[in-house]
Structure 1
């Protein structure tokens, strides 16, 4: 997401707000300031791994039988690379299957996930308009789905392993396969990591029994500039923050795998907030995006390090700025991990709610969840 126009202001406001919040609490419950959140190393590691696999895949496509198999399987939705290669039976694909499986494990580790999660890398045709040239027998190039929306060029490989520099602002005439991550699968596993780590840090509280009031998302949209051809679909998740029934800060992660494309209105009817888990009638929401390089464990630890220093003062305190201040610096440079935020969402909130940066909106409604 091209959100750089919001980030400088948002980071400055977040830092100032967190400083003021800390100053206001100093007399009641002094706490040492948390060390600056370390920048996760996943972005560079994941990009390097993907690039190596892209080059290996390009070389393997010199085998006509294997190239035909990929052509049949790799549509715009993508297909898991390691299983596809393992099932091919050709020598070139066999070697690639081993390389891709090892890469899957390394990427899972870099993202703070279980190394045994399974296939993560997938291959897809970069743009549907390339299908005609592919069907006509034009040999494709292979590139990676670059996370940086502002990239001017994209590096791709041919069957000899040679590098080609493609214009990122227009769709190439030659077919291009993209190697990227199955972010839907990674996000589902990442959501479990967030929940587990927040619970371990004491930020999850206890689950309420009986029926409860919720806030339900009826519709939601994220706006943005043009999305480049080399970008895969996004996968988003929300962090809902407030004070739990025990008076401690609480964070709940909410997976939103349906929220994939900018400029598209989705109608998920999804539960966003379970109000029985919160002490006050207000909560905040931060919308995040996994473009493939998000380290979920590092994210949870960074957020927890800051939120654990905030004490309940007997009144609701907005926590969005604290969450934003906890994000490592690298997430405000090239990576579009922060998308939007909503302050002081109330249990009675209904109708359209515009995000704080103007990059998204959602319509919500109170909803009673009956327990049988």
Structure 2
């Protein structure tokens, strides 16, 4: 994710893919060491891959021609596609770096539980827009991996390979490039992985069109009724988006849970790409709940934020595993807590952060509802979507 722009299937397969990348990363980064003069330790976590890439890129900037090309690209856009920048370089240093960056990019996709056909994920941009003037003026940049949410400091590297520890809360007095992941693409592709896993277990099966009216209106639907009842988000505000300012915009998504028409627990994923700043009110007019998918007139919503090391295949597996143990007892049972309990404790550090949750939303719910964690509120209203 950029500092200025909203960015940001099986578990065995992920582990095998990540393991297979270790020798490739070692070879690619070792080749780059000849240019950068820097020892880079290969890693298979997103944070580790970003750090290794940042260190290697910093060393490569000792080449003045390549440094100028990177500077021009960063000044021309809020966020730069790093694999495209290196593969399209006109300098020998940039071209040599391209193979290592390509391997790192594939490693990020594997570590996040995403397919290898989603395109590039690694991005490069300034840690803060205020650095543009100094960068344009010729100040030598440092390079760092985007810091984790719970970090108070982060490490930036200069072209000699020297590491500098910097505070997260203070904008550095020199230009710093951040190596980060395209969070917006990661969330979109990651939720596809979650949806596929849910669908495979029958946990997000949509109601057939022929049954929409009876689902929305009861056993006997009005003859002229064709459409669905939904709950609309009129406005929403979050106090803390669980993202340090220097890391840039947050990538928020919501998991809506309840019992489907077939009596099985279900989860519907809702992307919220607009909701990227804390203490800002947004007016999305976005559908949160499609009531035709639910058996009971109640649903819960769990809002989360994607951080760098989120593995969507593992997230999907955890959610599916816990939901398959819950049965319909003939009454509504809140599923939000079960969903949160499904997420391993270790994930709460720079992984899908819990933002807030809303319990017992109904078709008739309207007005402002505060989140259970007191970290945000949503103003919602019933909205009937008629058929064309």
**TM interval, short-chain normalised:** 0.7 to 0.9
Partner of 1:318: 334
Partner of 2:375: 359
Measure, in 2, the Cα distance between the counterparts of 1:190 and 1:371.
30
Say which is worse superposed, 295-304 or 219-228, in terms of deviation.
219-228
C-alpha change, 1:219 and 1:84, in structure 2 (3 Å) is: same
Partner of 1:293: 309
Partner of 2:185: 185
Say which is worse superposed, 82-91 or 275-284, in terms of deviation.
82-91
Pairs aligned (count): 334
> Helix, strand or coil: the match of 2:199?
helix
C-alpha change, 1:179 and 1:63, in structure 2 (3 Å) is: same
In the alignment, structure 1 residue 142 sits paired with structure 2 residue 158: no
How many Å apart are 1:189 and its aligned residue? 0.4
How many Å apart are 1:225 and its aligned residue? 8.5
Higher relative contact order (CA 8 A, sep 6+): 1
Measure, in 1, the Cα distance between the counterparts of 2:376 and 2:245.
22
How many Å apart are 1:297 and its aligned residue? 1.1
* Structure 2: gaps of 5 or more residues: 1-10, 19-42, 210-225
C-alpha change, 1:227 and 1:273, in structure 2 (3 Å) is: closer
Measure, in 1, the Cα distance between the counterparts of 2:99 and 2:162.
22
350, 357, 366: which one pairs with 1:350? 366
Deviation readout 1:152-197 (Å, 9 max, x if unpaired): 2211111122211112231110110000000001111011111110
> Helix, strand or coil: the match of 1:339?
strand
Measure, in 2, the Cα distance between the counterparts of 1:52 and 1:330.
22
Q: Over aligned residues, Cα RMSD in angstroms?
A: 2.2
In the alignment, structure 1 residue 77 sits paired with structure 2 residue 93: no
> Helix, strand or coil: the match of 1:95?
helix
How many Å apart are 1:304 and its aligned residue? 1.2
How many Å apart are 1:334 and its aligned residue? 5.0
How many Å apart are 1:312 and its aligned residue? 0.8
Measure, in 2, the Cα distance between the counterparts of 1:244 and 1:134.
54
Partner of 2:298: 282
Measure, in 1, the Cα distance between the counterparts of 2:241 and 2:362.
30
C-alpha change, 1:350 and 1:44, in structure 2 (3 Å) is: farther
> Helix, strand or coil: the match of 1:348?
coil
Measure, in 2, the Cα distance between the counterparts of 1:266 and 1:62.
44
How many Å apart are 1:361 and its aligned residue? 1.0
Contact persistence 2:194–2:313 (CA under 8 A): yes
Measure, in 2, the Cα distance between the counterparts of 1:119 and 1:206.
32
Contact persistence 2:82–2:101 (CA under 8 A): yes
C-alpha change, 1:295 and 1:173, in structure 2 (3 Å) is: same
Contact persistence 1:283–1:346 (CA under 8 A): yes
In the alignment, structure 1 residue 254 sits paired with structure 2 residue 296: no
> Helix, strand or coil: the match of 2:246?
coil
Measure, in 2, the Cα distance between the counterparts of 1:158 and 1:306.
46
How many Å apart are 1:250 and its aligned residue? 0.8
> Helix, strand or coil: the match of 2:52?
helix
In the alignment, structure 1 residue 132 sits paired with structure 2 residue 133: yes
Say which is worse superposed, 275-284 or 64-73, in terms of deviation.
64-73
Partner of 1:241: 257
Partner of 1:121: 122
Partner of 2:32: none
Give the TM-score taking structure 1 as reference length.
Answer: 0.85
Partner of 1:67: 67
> Helix, strand or coil: the match of 1:230?
helix
Partner of 2:216: none
In the alignment, structure 1 residue 108 sits paired with structure 2 residue 124: no
* Structure 1: gaps of 5 or more residues: 1-36
> Helix, strand or coil: the match of 2:103?
helix
How many Å apart are 1:339 and its aligned residue? 1.1
